Structure 1
Amino acid sequence: MTKARLKLHVRILSENEIAFGPGKAELLEAIQRTGSISQAAKCMNMSYRRAWQLVETMNQCFRSNLVETQTGGTHGGGAVVTELGQLVLNKFRIMEQQAIQAVESEFEELSNYMKVK
């Protein structure tokens, strides 16, 4: 028998755009690890174009860029998560944990009424 699970998705909206959410957080973490939007996209099985769209949306929704890019040269280009990007990512991960903690006891009670536990 499988166990009931709780899965929350926290999203921050700016007008009708998703300024930040789980996918963008994962992308920022991948950019931090790889130093590249292209490599981050590969790690996530995402097209380079889609990764760029997500980065552009994030950069447009915040006061300053969350990701900065360097154009290629003899050592190639790259990307870095800015100080603001790191702050947003950290705050977002804290918000996710707080959201889970806020509903955990209600979920536990609700799961008692499910066929799966």
Structure 2
Amino acid sequence: MKSIKSRIWIEDNENVFLGYGRVQLLKKIEETNSISAAAKELNMSYKKAWKLINSMNVSSQDALVITNTGGKDGGGTTLTPYGKKMIVNFETLNAACEDFLNTEFKKLYQL
């Protein structure tokens, strides 16, 4: 069965705030509690991951990610409740877009 695919992203002043790749990074950070581990699992450099996280946090009304440095527990990175909400919101919006596009595609091509 044929279907249409697309990518969406949310911009802030023409800069990407949130998109598929950034959401994947946030999900891996939630899973691993580590920017380094998340980046490694996504075959991304730590520097790029950090740049993306910083960009999202700066563009956002609230932080999506909080980092804790060193200490006896070794630091770590966590998603904020707002960060978790943004993942859900983005995935909901993305699914709605795909549903809409597939519905329109089927109408146009009567598949």
TM-score by length of 2: 0.91
Offset of residue 109 of structure 1: 4.8
Cα contact 2:3–2:102 (8 A) shared by 1: no
Q: Which runs of 4+ in 1 moved over 4 A?
A: 109-113
AA of the residue aligned to 2:6: L
Cα contact 1:4–1:111 (8 A) shared by 2: no
Matches within 5 A, 1:10-89: 10-89=8-87
Aligned length: 111
For the aligned residues, what is the CA RMSD? 1.7
AA of the residue aligned to 2:92: I
User: For residues 110 and 63 of structure 2, what CA distance do their matches in structure 1 show?
Assistant: 45
Offset of residue 74 of structure 1: 2.8
Offset of residue 105 of structure 1: 2.1
Cα contact 2:69–2:76 (8 A) shared by 1: yes
The structure with the larger Rg is: 1
User: For residues 66 and 21 of structure 1, what CA distance do their matches in structure 2 show?
Assistant: 14
Offset of residue 110 of structure 1: 5.2
Q: Structure 1: which 5+ runs fail to align?
A: none
Q: Structure 2: which 5+ runs fail to align?
A: none
TM-score by length of 1: 0.87
